[in-house]
């Protein structure tokens, strides 16, 4: 990794985005020119329906695309919500996925129960929230649902990032408890970062595809597999038994998206 990239990664830890900062400086001149042009036009309007309020510069927007239609969360949230809509389960429980992404997608067309170690203090139609630590065994949840999701969440278990206790085997405990929650034949929608196996503390783990396949062996049938590559593009169908799977499809930090059925 080059020096510039290392510096960029370091300043991002403190909320500074170097690329966006460059775009913002680029937009300063345009901002002042447009503001002056608008004021000149408004002089001819008497009275103006819209007086100037406080300044609210949006300096980089004109240099960006109209929305972000790529990346791990965009593709996994849309894909899995579509699968749940198609299968129409009796009950669906989600563990740890994004409320403002995947959970909201599903809540647009059906009820969804959400388990998360963090609290959610607002009440949202079609979302039933329960604060749970899925690393802890809960016998009362055994076989409780025919449909379950855990998207981009298991990689955090046991690293302490979200207030959970530090536990080197937290991901394994969570994995086993998720399996217990699902009734035989039930659907499990699961995603994690894929690439060379490692911990990037205290953000997440990255799983190799062969390691994930060993975790699933004897527990699940793989119904479909897709992944998001390092460029942020969705590969909608890939063969987990192919030679490419042994290298996690060439990803350094991709996202593997599994549709599974419990055996």
Q: Which residues of the chain have pLDDT under 70?
A: 1-17, 20, 65-67
pLDDT at 2: 65
Q: What are the tens digits of pLDDT across the range 20-47?
A: 677 778 888 888 999 999 988 888 887 7
pLDDT at 247: 98
pLDDT at 127: 98
Count of Cβ atoms closer than 10 Å to residue 13 Cβ: 7
pTM: 0.85
Q: What are the tens digits of pLDDT across the range 95-141?
A: 999 999 999 999 999 999 999 999 999 999 999 999 999 999 999 99
Distance from C-alpha of 231 to C-alpha of 28, rounded to nearest angstrom: 30
Joined tokens for residue 236: 């909608």
Distance from C-alpha of 168 to C-alpha of 161, rounded to nearest angstrom: 13
Number of helices (H), then strands (E), in the chain: 6, 10
Distance from C-alpha of 76 to C-alpha of 148, rounded to nearest angstrom: 14
Structural domains for the chain: 3-63 (no CATH), 72-262 (3.40.50.150)
pLDDT at 14: 61
> What DSSP string describes 67-96?
S---SHHHHHHHHHHHHHHHH--S--EEES
pLDDT at 50: 84
Distance from C-alpha of 30 to C-alpha of 147, rounded to nearest angstrom: 51
pLDDT at 3: 63
pLDDT at 27: 81
pLDDT at 61: 82
């Amino acid at each position: 990794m080059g020096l510039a990239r290392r510096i960029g990664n370091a300043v991002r830890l403190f909320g500074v985005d170097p690329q966006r900062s460059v775009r913002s400086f680029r937009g300063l001149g345009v901002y002042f020119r447009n503001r002056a042009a608008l004021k000149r036009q408004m002089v001819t309007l008497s009275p103006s329906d819209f007086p100037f309020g406080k300044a609210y510069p949006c300096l980089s927007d004109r240099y960006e695309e109209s929305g972000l239609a790529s990346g791990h969360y965009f593709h996994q949230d849309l894909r899995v919500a579509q699968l749940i809509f198609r299968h129409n389960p009796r009950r669906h429980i989600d563990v740890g996925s994004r409320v403002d992404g995947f959970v909201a997608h599903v809540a647009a067309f059906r009820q969804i129960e959400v388990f998360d170690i963090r609290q959610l203090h607002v009440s949202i139609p079609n979302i039933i929230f329960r604060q749970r630590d899925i690393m802890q065994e809960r016998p009362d949840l055994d076989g409780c649902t025919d449909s379950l999701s855990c998207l981009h969440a298991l990689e955090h278990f046991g690293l302490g990032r979200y207030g959970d206790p530090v536990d080197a085997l937290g991901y394994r405990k969570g994995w086993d408890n998720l399996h217990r929650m699902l009734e035989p034949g039930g659907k499990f929608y699961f995603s994690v970062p894929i690439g060379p196996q490692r911990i990037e503390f205290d953000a997440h783990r990255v799983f190799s595809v062969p390691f994930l396949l060993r975790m699933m062996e004897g527990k699940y049938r793989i119904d479909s597999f897709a992944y998001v590559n390092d460029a942020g593009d969705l590969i909608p169908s890939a063969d987990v038994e192919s030679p490419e799977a042994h290298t996690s499809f060439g990803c350094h930090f991709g996202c593997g998206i599994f549709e599974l059925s419990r055996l």
